[in-house]
Amino acid sequence: MPTNTSRSAWFIRLGLGILILSILLWWQGKSILGTFSAVPWWTILAAVVSYWILQLICAWKWQLLINAALREENSPSPPLTLVACARYYLAGMFWNLWMPSSIGGDAVRAYLAGKKCGRLSLAASAVLADRLSGLVALLVIGTISVVIERLNGVSQEGSALLQSQHLLWIAAFLLCVGTGIWFGMRMWSTRLVASEKKLLSTLARKMESLHRNISLYRQPGVRYILLISFVLSLLFQIGVIALNIGLAFAVQLPLNLLVYWWLIPALALASLIPVGIGGLGVREAAAVAMVGTLTVAAGGNTSNLIAWSLLWQATLWLAGLPGAWSTRIK
């Protein structure tokens, strides 16, 4: 059960997200509603269906990771089917709507898959490998786009590009720090597994089990799965950017196409900031801060930019709602 502190933190984050969004709507509300009303209903439907297809790619990637670990461990559990993985992924999408980041949805996925195969730590390790491959793919796309933009020369895009570049460097730095902490915790768990304190010993055993399952992906017979996982992550991220570009056309956002290739990875990273729920309000504020001036200079206005971001949020919410049903499936 969540503690009073965690519930309070959740409501504070929800309130902050609503506050940010309310300020933006108060500022440009009438124009945003006008832009939304001009978007055909089938555009949102097509976006939702497209996002489901992209999530199916992610479910396939996760299936490959978890089944490879099961095979390497010679587990008696049957391999997970693509249908099961897609169902668990859908449940994770739903819970991501209500959490300050994607960690909540990942925990749900790990629990459901662990319950199915009888190995929670193995399922959690597959979720971690899945997320890491996605983050690396996002950083690769964003970094390459920044480099290309720099080589082409920048004018009015310079400030926005610099902000995006900073976000990418921060994410890369945090990834390196996280890797260091991971190996440090591995040494810590090995030493404390025999601790006389029950809580420390239990936590150490769980961490040791997670490390052991992660190490399965270093085995020669499984390494190629990591490469396939990275390629599928690239396909997913490219698909997300293409989908966002389509939504930008729907709201007549006049940004150069190359801008989206570094802007969307930067906004995805900004959405991970634990303010608001499911990135609500944070992505919109980040979009205005990063390319609001650039949008106006290109002949558009900030209402188009906010409407574009909200249209993407609406796509995520509508696509994730069926996951409430998936969570209930045994």
The whole-angstrom separation of Cα 115 and Cα 125 is 14
Of the candidates 287, 242, 244, 289, the residue with the CA atom closest to the CA atom of residue 267: 287
Using 70 as the pLDDT threshold, list the residues of the chain that sit under it.
1-30, 32, 98-103, 153-214, 274-280, 326-330
Of the candidates 118, 69, 60, 68, the residue with the CA atom closest to the CA atom of residue 88: 60
The predicted structure's pLDDT at residue 309 = 87
The whole-angstrom separation of Cα 100 and Cα 173 is 21
Per-residue pLDDT tens digits for 286-296? 888 888 888 88
CB-CB contact of 301 with 295 (8 Å): yes
The predicted structure's pLDDT at residue 1 = 40
DSSP 330: -
Per-position b or e across 100-121, b if 16+ CB within 10 A of its CB: bbbebbbebbbbbbbebbebbb
The whole-angstrom separation of Cα 95 and Cα 89 is 10
Average pLDDT taken over every residue of the chain: 76
The predicted structure's pLDDT at residue 166 = 58
The predicted structure's pLDDT at residue 199 = 54
37, amino acid identity: S
The whole-angstrom separation of Cα 299 and Cα 304 is 11
Per-residue pLDDT tens digits for 29-72? 667 677 777 788 888 899 999 999 999 999 999 999 989 888 88
CB-CB contact of 272 with 135 (8 Å): no
The predicted structure's pLDDT at residue 310 = 85
- For residue 189, CA distances in Å to 69, 105, 171, 219, 251 come to 21, 26, 26, 22, 52
CB-CB contact of 223 with 114 (8 Å): no
DSSP 100: S
The CB-based long-range contact list for 97-104 (8 Å cut-off, 24+ gap) reads 97/277, 97/278, 97/316, 97/317, 97/320, 97/321, 98/277, 98/278, 99/277, 99/278, 100/10, 100/13, 100/274, 100/275, 100/276, 100/277, 100/278, 101/272, 101/274, 102/131, 102/272
DSSP 105: H
**Residue 279 region, left (φ>0) first, then alpha (ψ -120 to 50), else beta?**
left
The predicted model scores a pTM of 0.79
The whole-angstrom separation of Cα 182 and Cα 176 is 10
